[in-house]
Structure 1
Amino acid sequence: MSVTVRFCGAARTVTGSCYLVETPAGRFLIDCGLFQGQKTLKELNYRVFPFRPADIDTVLLTHAHIDHSGLLPKLVHEGFEGRILATRGTIDLCSWMLPDSGGIQESEVAFLNRRNTARGRPEVTPIYTQADAKAALQSFQPVEYEKWVDVIPGVRARYWNAGHLLGSASIEIEFDGAGSGGKKLRLLASGDVGPDAKLLQPDPRAPTGFDYVISEATYGDRLRAATTPEQRRQRLASEVRDAATSRGALLVPAFAVERTQELIVDLIDLMERGEIPAAPIFLDSPLAIHATEVFRDHAESLDPDIDVNRLFNSPHLRFTETVDESKAIAKLTGFHIIIAASGMCDAGRIRHHLKRWLWSNRATVLLVGFQAHGTLGRFLQDGAKAVRIQGDEIKVAARIRMIDEYSGHADGTEMARWIAARRPIHRGVFLVHGEEEAIAGLAGRLAERIVPAAKLFQPLLDDIYELSTPEPALLDVAHRRRLAPEAVTNLDWHNDMSTLVLDINDRITAAADDRARGVIIRRLRRALEEAG
């Protein structure tokens, strides 16, 4: 039996996870996620899929994060009529996350269309709506961990806890008659794998002995210092105490699911122990509020040493679900903590709080998760002196801090250890869900002693590999590529334009007088005329 896999997303980038697997008996997807980051990459969300949704029989969903699940409503809207197989935790989270994503699409497009109308530009439509997201939920079917489920004829799958997020899974897949000598061909899709000392979630589990492993590489080039839950709390405590001395806001852009709940648990624990100043913690995200309720409902599957219900009911914690409640936070003075999505600062309420506070040296922005290329969070992490938010230029005077201990991803050493524990791996390891440096870093760790370099593959977007041959064979797909490889990995012209506008404003503002400013403007006009 012939088996091919097409890497339709998360190839040399950390978002848009989507892998199309085809056999003579049918087609299925592993994940169907939203692209995030620079605009060129995000524009893929608006394009047609690189396959016909009606031809897909099943989707195997690793977990609920939007970069893995976020295009499922579009898939259903455009003709998919099959099953979406996921764990119960993933389904419960998606029941809030997908409609929330649809609402964000609608509100973002409404804002953009107001600007487009004023500028005489055509209106755009959302990728999908809340109604599309709610309709997609009807396609979900629950699976249990470590129990086989049929996918398409001749293919079955088994989900293993990946330790990354409530309901997250690595998915073991078996293909009848596709291995050497007509034996089963075995593949493992890692999904996102959680790190050591992960709060709330158990350690990741998976079996051994595969032909192929498709492995994430988000932090493949990083090595975190060994840590414990208590050491992580102490690092957080130090950042909170420093922020409190400025008597302003501590802004925490956080992914609404898992990262937010971990932060709440640690912040309230530290306040109750008197190790950080008691202050109001505003959970300013309707999605995070609903996700917290899901965590309460699944308390039995979380760390039994943590009293989730008690901590989530703390008087220090304040939920701001409505827009008016969110706006009221801006009236506060003195030290307070605001946790709001999105984690990469590219959408959601965190942008409004950043506009309110970034210019102030009394504020602190604490980044606690991965910041993809081209996102506002990445520009802040890299030390930008000014940024553009919703068309407005904002100077950055706030302290920008980063702690890595709350990442939901294993680092390079942990991923290498996880892959080593899957051996023997007979035919190859595909490294995905990482930027180029991260993938190269993990490849270097593996090639040293775990997997021969000849069996390590770093697919580009839309690469197709034949898996049923003795060695994976890359098929000729150059004509099928939606983006050139460099367009995936590099910052695009939208990022360059934003930086240029900021640089022009700085240079003109810093000029000695009006005459000097006029010289700069005339030179710019001349350059534009020559370019035209």
Structure 2
Amino acid sequence: MPLSATLQFIGAAKQVTGSCYLIKLNNRQILLDCGMVQGADQIREWHKFRFAFKPKDIDLVILSHAHIDHSGLLPLLVARGFDGKILCTPGTAELLPVLLKDSVHLYLKDLEWQNKKAARAGKKLQDPVLSVTDAERVVQLCDTVAYKKRVTPLPGLELEFADAGHILGSAIVQLWLKGSQAMRKLVFSGDLGNPATVLMYDPTDIGQADIVLMESTYGNRNHQDIDNSLDEMAQALEQANRDGGNVFIPAFALGRSQEILYYLALLHHQGRLKQRMVFLDSPMAISITNIYNDYLHCLDQKDLAAIGFKKGMQLQDLLPMLRLTESVEESMAINRVSGGAIIIAGSGMCNGGRIVHHFKHSLWKNSNHLIFVGFQAYGTLGRRLVDGERRVKLFGQEIVVKARVHTIGGFSAHAGQSELLDWAQAIGGKPAFYLVHGEPEAQQALQQELAQLGIQAQIPAKGDVISL
């Protein structure tokens, strides 16, 4: 049978989030990722969302990693009829229930609030389009495949995951599409990690390919040197210590929180950390850190050795002053600590979560410091603080911002432009490149840089279909 295969760009085409690609292979349908578009209203997104295919007709889902912009629509896919296998790495399978259940819980909580508001106004109430049971069903459908293990999930299809170095369990997806007279190798980069970041190994070089879908999040810029970023953090912490205040670090629960714990442990190991207490004030980040502890063998052993890690230890053992605060009561008690503490809490962009409650008690004190270590999207509270806004409204109350704000730009888990170019250059076979998972400006800049290296790359639009 000759090879009959196409690929359709469903999501993350000329945008960063919503990763999803549909492969049709010999009358079978395969999804690469099934991610949510982030930044949009979640209730509106899920209630009005229409898949570009029939979920019950999908034979297989292949998941690059657990981040919601790659996995977040899986519960909706299940709710609308999908009942096939989901293939992912063991690390991703461990993280998925934490992230998906939290996402669905937030949706249901927001829907309940909107329905109460609608009821008071005499408007029609909305029924939920999915439940926590759908998220649990996603987990049940997962089959795990270890890195470097070749499997044949469908006739004419072979799969092998390689380490993408982005977060725990993140994978570069390698697919061999076979017909009786032809074979093509398709590579999907997933999210490529930043080689300078800690805990993760560098992204894997994958040899040869015929077609490459490559992420382009930071296709137009490189990251600040990590050592300079760490020095900036140390200086901000030292200044806060002299001022006698607390330090607040908004951080995402997956990846960034564990990296910040590592960097604080490194500063402690070097004798550069003066604070007496560090609070990880995020139940989700605590759960994910415990999962990282179960997968220490997957983490970069050189990074662990650099902070004095020994067999039998866990990540939190490296910071003697670390306290894990899971309950609401423990979190509220932090606000009674007047100084000498570092508080890591979500959400990473300050558009919700415990960090906002801490801000109500801390932003107006000039002895306190805020350290932003991640991207802050336009319209979020984090972005307004980074941009220097001096008054913000929290829980209906106007708060003056007297705390000092620091922005440190080197702690990215994504490859920068130079790393993307290096990874692309290392691929043999003169493959056709398609740039995905990036804003147009970043994609065009990366396309031009690739052209300088003799690599022609296309920038597909949403809905485009290519023959494989």
- TM-score normalised to the size of structure 2? 0.89
Distance in 1 (alpha carbons) for counterparts of 2:96 and 2:455: 35
Q: Equivalences for 1:394-473 in 2 at 5 Å?
A: 395-426=400-431, 428-452=432-456, 456-460=457-461, 462-468=462-468
Distance in 2 (alpha carbons) for counterparts of 1:387 and 1:459: 40
Q: Is the contact between residue 163 and residue 195 of structure 1 (CA under 8 Å) also seen in structure 2?
A: yes
Distance in 1 (alpha carbons) for counterparts of 2:269 and 2:174: 43
Secondary structure at 1:48's aligned position in 2? Answer: coil
Q: Is the contact between residue 220 and residue 411 of structure 1 (CA under 8 Å) also seen in structure 2?
A: yes
Residues 298-345 of structure 1, C-alpha deviations (whole Å, 9 max, x = no match): 112212241283541343111111222222222332232221222233
Secondary structure at 2:210's aligned position in 1? Answer: strand
Hey, what does 2:232 align to over in structure 1? 235
- Code of the aligned partner of 1:345: C
Residues 120-174 of structure 1, C-alpha deviations (whole Å, 9 max, x = no match): 5544455643332122210000101112222433222110000111111000112
- Code of the aligned partner of 1:439: Q
- Judged with a 3 Å threshold, the aligned counterparts in structure 2 of structure 1 residues 147 and 391 are, in CA distance, closer, same or farther, namely farther
- Code of the aligned partner of 1:466: I
- Structure 1 residue 271, shift from structure 2 partner: 2.9
Distance in 1 (alpha carbons) for counterparts of 2:148 and 2:424: 19
- Code of the aligned partner of 2:238: R
Q: Equivalences for 1:131-530 in 2 at 5 Å?
A: 131-177=133-179, 182-228=181-227, 231-305=228-302, 306=304, 307=309, 309-313=313-317, 314-387=319-392, 395-426=400-431, 428-452=432-456, 456-460=457-461, 462-468=462-468
- Judged with a 3 Å threshold, the aligned counterparts in structure 2 of structure 1 residues 389 and 221 are, in CA distance, closer, same or farther, namely farther
Aligned CA RMSD, in angstroms, stands at: 2.5
Secondary structure at 1:240's aligned position in 2? Answer: helix
- Structure 1 residue 424, shift from structure 2 partner: 3.1
Structure 2 unmatched runs, 5+: none
Q: Is the contact between residue 250 and residue 344 of structure 2 (CA under 8 Å) also seen in structure 1?
A: yes
- Structure 1 residue 218, shift from structure 2 partner: 1.2
- Judged with a 3 Å threshold, the aligned counterparts in structure 2 of structure 1 residues 45 and 346 are, in CA distance, closer, same or farther, namely farther
Hey, what does 1:491 align to over in structure 2? none
Secondary structure at 1:8's aligned position in 2? Answer: strand
Distance in 2 (alpha carbons) for counterparts of 1:254 and 1:124: 32
- Judged with a 3 Å threshold, the aligned counterparts in structure 2 of structure 1 residues 354 and 158 are, in CA distance, closer, same or farther, namely same
Distance in 2 (alpha carbons) for counterparts of 1:126 and 1:389: 28
Structure 1 unmatched runs, 5+: 469-532
- Structure 1 residue 253, shift from structure 2 partner: 1.7
Q: Is the contact between residue 8 and residue 466 of structure 2 (CA under 8 Å) also seen in structure 1?
A: no
- Judged with a 3 Å threshold, the aligned counterparts in structure 2 of structure 1 residues 58 and 390 are, in CA distance, closer, same or farther, namely farther
- Judged with a 3 Å threshold, the aligned counterparts in structure 2 of structure 1 residues 217 and 399 are, in CA distance, closer, same or farther, namely farther
- Larger Cα-atom Rg: 1
- Code of the aligned partner of 1:448: Q
Q: Equivalences for 1:105-116 in 2 at 5 Å?
A: 105-116=107-118
Q: Is the contact between residue 224 and residue 410 of structure 2 (CA under 8 Å) also seen in structure 1?
A: no
Residues 468-503 of structure 1, C-alpha deviations (whole Å, 9 max, x = no match): 3xxxxxxxxxxxxxxxxxxxxxxxxxxxxxxxxxxx
- Judged with a 3 Å threshold, the aligned counterparts in structure 2 of structure 1 residues 392 and 217 are, in CA distance, closer, same or farther, namely farther
Distance in 2 (alpha carbons) for counterparts of 1:200 and 1:214: 25
- Structure 1 residue 205, shift from structure 2 partner: 0.7
Residues 401-451 of structure 1, C-alpha deviations (whole Å, 9 max, x = no match): 22222211011111111111113333x222121222222222222122141
- Judged with a 3 Å threshold, the aligned counterparts in structure 2 of structure 1 residues 13 and 350 are, in CA distance, closer, same or farther, namely farther
Task: Judging by fraction of residues, say which structure has more helix.
Answer: 1
Q: Is the contact between residue 282 and residue 339 of structure 1 (CA under 8 Å) also seen in structure 2?
A: yes
- Judged with a 3 Å threshold, the aligned counterparts in structure 2 of structure 1 residues 50 and 198 are, in CA distance, closer, same or farther, namely same
Hey, what does 1:81 align to over in structure 2? 83
Secondary structure at 1:342's aligned position in 2? Answer: coil
Between stretches 387-396 and 45-54, larger displacement belongs to 387-396
Q: Is the contact between residue 417 and residue 446 of structure 2 (CA under 8 Å) also seen in structure 1?
A: yes
Q: Is the contact between residue 163 and residue 202 of structure 1 (CA under 8 Å) also seen in structure 2?
A: yes
Q: Is the contact between residue 365 and residue 401 of structure 1 (CA under 8 Å) also seen in structure 2?
A: yes
- Structure 1 residue 374, shift from structure 2 partner: 4.3
- Judged with a 3 Å threshold, the aligned counterparts in structure 2 of structure 1 residues 48 and 363 are, in CA distance, closer, same or farther, namely farther
Q: Is the contact between residue 268 and residue 316 of structure 1 (CA under 8 Å) also seen in structure 2?
A: no
Q: Is the contact between residue 369 and residue 404 of structure 1 (CA under 8 Å) also seen in structure 2?
A: yes
Distance in 1 (alpha carbons) for counterparts of 2:355 and 2:196: 28
Secondary structure at 2:211's aligned position in 1? Answer: strand
Secondary structure at 2:275's aligned position in 1? Answer: coil
Q: Is the contact between residue 156 and residue 173 of structure 1 (CA under 8 Å) also seen in structure 2?
A: yes
Q: Is the contact between residue 275 and residue 340 of structure 2 (CA under 8 Å) also seen in structure 1?
A: no
Q: Is the contact between residue 26 and residue 153 of structure 1 (CA under 8 Å) also seen in structure 2?
A: no
Secondary structure at 1:136's aligned position in 2? Answer: helix
- Judged with a 3 Å threshold, the aligned counterparts in structure 2 of structure 1 residues 283 and 160 are, in CA distance, closer, same or farther, namely same
Q: Is the contact between residue 36 and residue 42 of structure 1 (CA under 8 Å) also seen in structure 2?
A: no
- Code of the aligned partner of 2:464: I
- TM-score normalised to the size of structure 1? 0.79
Distance in 2 (alpha carbons) for counterparts of 1:31 and 1:174: 17
Distance in 2 (alpha carbons) for counterparts of 1:450 and 1:124: 53
Q: Is the contact between residue 64 and residue 172 of structure 2 (CA under 8 Å) also seen in structure 1?
A: yes
Q: Is the contact between residue 229 and residue 408 of structure 2 (CA under 8 Å) also seen in structure 1?
A: no
- Judged with a 3 Å threshold, the aligned counterparts in structure 2 of structure 1 residues 81 and 363 are, in CA distance, closer, same or farther, namely same
Q: Is the contact between residue 197 and residue 226 of structure 2 (CA under 8 Å) also seen in structure 1?
A: no
Residues 56-76 of structure 1, C-alpha deviations (whole Å, 9 max, x = no match): 111111111111112211211
- Judged with a 3 Å threshold, the aligned counterparts in structure 2 of structure 1 residues 396 and 8 are, in CA distance, closer, same or farther, namely farther
